[in-house]
Structure 1
Amino acid sequence: MKLFLKGLIRGTLPFAVMLSMYAWNNFQGRAADAKVFLFYGLMALFLGLASIIYELKQWSFRKQVIVHYLTMLVTVFPFLLLSGYHKTNSFGAIFHVFLLFNKVGVMLFVTTAIISKIRNSLIRLN
């Protein structure tokens, strides 16, 4: 339960910021711009919630990666399609969004892995 609350906090904070940006844009009469903030906020919420997967020490790293990827696939990917930010008028367009989803996922994964290694190295030095 403690771990879930940690993930909820990680996701709720950016979601609250995006939700306020959504509300502000709606208030200003820019509903088309506002919608993007709502979808990005929902994606941030699920990213924060799913981040705790890597803190489950009883799971192997491989299992953590697979479960995280599948979680993102059933939460974030549909929001990308529904956001209206990407074309979804054909299978090819949806497949392009899928490829983009995976490309960004790999870049974020590699970046966070490098940062984590550096952080762990600095902690060991102290």
Structure 2
Amino acid sequence: MQLVKKGFVRSFLWSMPFAILALYQGWSGNMDGVHGMLVYAGVAFFLGLTSVIYEVRHWSFKEQIFIHWNVMHVTILPLLWFGGAKPITLLQDATRLYLNFTVSGLILFTVSYFIIRMRRQVTAS
């Protein structure tokens, strides 16, 4: 239960700047900007909420990766597809967005993995 609370606090903190920017865009009359900022706020919300997956100690690292990967496909990817962050008019557009999503996820995972690994080595020594 503590991890769920921690996830909601993170998601609130990470999505708040985008919500504030959406309000500012609304006051200035830029409705496209409002829509974009709300999509980004949704992405930040789900990233903050799922960031606690890697803190569940009784799951192996492979289980954590698998669960995170699947949750991102259920939350972030549909938000990008249907949220209108990028216009999708053809199957090719949806495929391109999926490939960008996958490559971005792999890059972020790889960088995060090596940072965590280096931090553990520094704290162990």
Partner of residue 46, structure 1: 46
Partner of residue 35, structure 2: 35
Aligned residue identity for 1:113? Y
Is 2:9 the partner of 1:9? yes
Question: Number of residues paired by the alignment?
Answer: 125
Q: CA deviation at 1:63?
A: 1.4
Q: CA deviation at 1:46?
A: 0.5
Is 2:29 the partner of 1:22? no
SS of equivalent residue, structure 1 residue 92:
helix
Partner of residue 108, structure 2: 108
Once residues 22 and 82 of structure 1 are traced to their aligned partners in structure 2, the CA distance between those partners, rounded to angstroms, is 18
Aligned residue identity for 1:105? G
Once residues 53 and 14 of structure 1 are traced to their aligned partners in structure 2, the CA distance between those partners, rounded to angstroms, is 16
Is 2:87 the partner of 1:79? no
Deviations along 1:64-109, one digit per CA (max 9) or x if unpaired, are 1111111000100011112323131111110110000001000110
Q: Which runs of 4+ in 1 moved over 6 A?
A: none
TM-score (norm 2): 0.94
Partner of residue 70, structure 1: 70
Once residues 13 and 79 of structure 1 are traced to their aligned partners in structure 2, the CA distance between those partners, rounded to angstroms, is 19
Once residues 61 and 87 of structure 1 are traced to their aligned partners in structure 2, the CA distance between those partners, rounded to angstroms, is 35
Q: CA deviation at 1:23?
A: 0.6
Once residues 79 and 64 of structure 1 are traced to their aligned partners in structure 2, the CA distance between those partners, rounded to angstroms, is 22
Aligned residue identity for 1:79? L
SS of equivalent residue, structure 1 residue 6:
helix
After the TM superposition, which of the residue ranges 116-125 and 106-115 deviates more from structure 2?
116-125
Q: CA deviation at 1:117?
A: 1.2
- Percent identical pairs in the alignment equals 29
Q: CA deviation at 1:47?
A: 0.6
Aligned residue identity for 2:44? A
Is the Cα–Cα contact under 8 Å of residues 39 and 85 in structure 2 kept in the other structure?
no
